[in-house]
Amino acid sequence: MYAVTLLTDPKNPALDLTTVEALRSAWGGGALRWLSMGDAAEFLLEVVPSNLWDVWAGLQGQGIDMIVQPVENRRKKMLLADMDSTMIQQECIDELADVADVGDHVKAITAKAMNGELDFEGALKERVGLLKGLPESVIQRVIDERITFMPGGCALLATMKRDGAYCALVSGGFTAFTGYVSQTLGFHENRANTLLIEDGKLTGAPGMPILGREAKVQALKDITARLGLTHDDVMAVGDGANDLGMLGLAGAGVALHAKPSVAAECDIRINHGDLTALLYIQGYAKSEFAHVECQNV
């Protein structure tokens, strides 16, 4: 059996009964279940429809995301998440660059690297080099003044952890930021690159080795082996080219507001919903979300 999940941006719900029922009827689906009225719904199918992606494209124009996946094992035991533009709404290195007055240059490099147009390691070294001489204090300034969390992240972590899932944050960004994000949202562990600092200033070099695409894949393998889980037990989420390895290896690889070249390689694409979409596609109703307030979120 397969579950068809339809969802929208919770801040601008666009899911109506007519749309959902028309699709359910056309595909011969089972009983409709509202996960959140006007925001998320699901029904079951016996086979994947041949016109799935044509229908998906049509729904995208209405602000609706659609995911079709096997029902078996869709509630995952581990979350592996990217940080920049995934758990938070910014790219940390771009924010540091803005403070250093090299923002436009660095943002252009970041965009190309995340779209897979540049070698990630080389692009990271080039961008960090432009930050040479910045005072270490600028890191806390960026955290305090510029970092905002992706909506739904607190509910996602709290709900999955309540039900026994292990949550890991793995980023091509920097530990100075993943530590803060991990602690605030409640991740069990975090892995990222380091910014080298001497005499209170950034040296313009990252610590080696650089954590990129393969390191994220290795994190998935290491953590699942340690916990006695299979790769199919994992839900991974990210938006950039360096996330594709872990997204492809995980049982559920979610491209969240991803670059077009990244989304094109993933079957689970969330372009309108927020991080609560990762709960809906596991079959959680909004009434089942854990209600835990995260500080500063």
Q: Which residues are catalytic?
A: 82, 84
DSSP string computed for 253-283:
EEEES--HHHHTT-SEEESSS-TTHHHHTTT
CA atoms within 13 A on the CB side of 138: 21
Question: First vs last Cα of the chain: how many Å apart?
Answer: 37
Residue 88 near residue 147, CB atoms below 8 Å: yes
* Separation CA 156–CA 279 (nearest Å): 6
- Helix axis angle, 175-185 to 153-162, nearest 10°: 60
* Separation CA 63–CA 135 (nearest Å): 43
Measured CA to CA in angstroms, residue 227 lies from 75, 166, 192, 222, 234 at distances of 17, 9, 20, 9, 11
Measured CA to CA in angstroms, residue 57 lies from 40, 237, 253, 255 at distances of 18, 21, 19, 16
Query: Kind of pairing, strands 33-36 and 166-174?
Result: unpaired
What three-state secondary structure class fits 36? strand
